[in-house]
Amino acid sequence: MEIVAEQIGKKYRKEWIFRRIDLTLKAGSSYTFVGPNGSGKSTLLQLLAGSLPATEGTLTYALNGRTLDPDNWFRQVSVAAPYLELVEELTLDELLTFHQTFKPFKNGLTIGTIADRLLLGHARNKEIKYFSSGMKQRVKLGLAFFSQSPVVILDEPTANLDRQGALWYHDEVRQLDPNQLLLIGSNQPEEYDFCRNIIDVTAWK
């Protein structure tokens, strides 16, 4: 899996969030985009995920040397971010069952094993709307960690997590398949202390 950005820029009204980004992001590596709040980290991650259009420049996605149709790119990406909502009327079991109909889980993972990995085996029949903010964040992260997709994007991954939750995150993120491409947006060094490729988005202001 490879993402190539050429002269990418994003503008809201008359203000450029960033411009002239040239990047090649390759599977088997992790990359963290850093910068203060409002610097454009989340916008860039949404653009790379295909959920926002670029104002200028081109994005190319390739898998095993074959260029992918941008309209099908979403099938290759799993995203966890504070701004993404869960279907709160569903129970955990119902949510996991629904999710795997459009994005299968990794081989060997069942609904029960995932609930246990989320430390939520006791809450499988509880509606998501009754979960704490930390429980919801673990669910969002788990959907990204355990889905069968070559690209994992995590924006502010430990938002709403307590100390136990942060330790859980560090344990699970290190268990990702080394062949996956991992992209993180953060301004908290403890969220990406394992990542060697650190990219400051303020360079493109």
Kindly list the averaged pLDDT for each block of 10 residues, start to end, along the chain of length 205.
96 94 96 95 96 95 88 90 95 97 94 98 98 98 97 97 97 96 96 96 94
What is the CATH superfamily name and number for domain 2-204?
A: P-loop containing nucleotide triphosphate hydrolases (3.40.50.300)
> β-pairing, 30-34 with 197-200?
parallel
Cβ 119 vs Cβ 142: under 8 Å? no
Contacts of 91 (CB under 8 A, 6+ apart): 124, 125, 126, 127, 128
**Closest alpha carbon to 156 in 74, 34, 53, 54:** 34
Contacts of 151 (CB under 8 A, 6+ apart): 1, 3, 27, 76, 77, 78, 180, 181, 182, 183
On the 0-12 / 13-18 / 19+ scale of CB atoms within 10 A, 67 is exposed
Cβ 32 vs Cβ 184: under 8 Å? yes
- The predicted pLDDT at position 70 comes to 82
N-term to C-term CA, the chain: 28
- The predicted pLDDT at position 55 comes to 97
Neighbours of 174 (CB within 10 A): 8
Q: How many residues does the chain have?
A: 205
- The predicted pLDDT at position 75 comes to 87
- The predicted pLDDT at position 205 comes to 86
Query: Taking the model in full, what pTM does it have?
Result: 0.95
C-alpha Rg value of the chain to the nearest Å: 17
- The predicted pLDDT at position 34 comes to 98
Q: Check residue 28 and give left, alpha or beta (phi > 0: left; psi -120 to 50: alpha).
A: left
Phi, psi dihedral angles at 167 (to 5 degrees): -65, -40
- The predicted pLDDT at position 174 comes to 95
Reading the block at residue 10, the tokens are 């994003």
Contacts of 96 (CB under 8 A, 6+ apart): 105, 111, 114, 115
> Residue ranges of the domains in the chain?
2-204
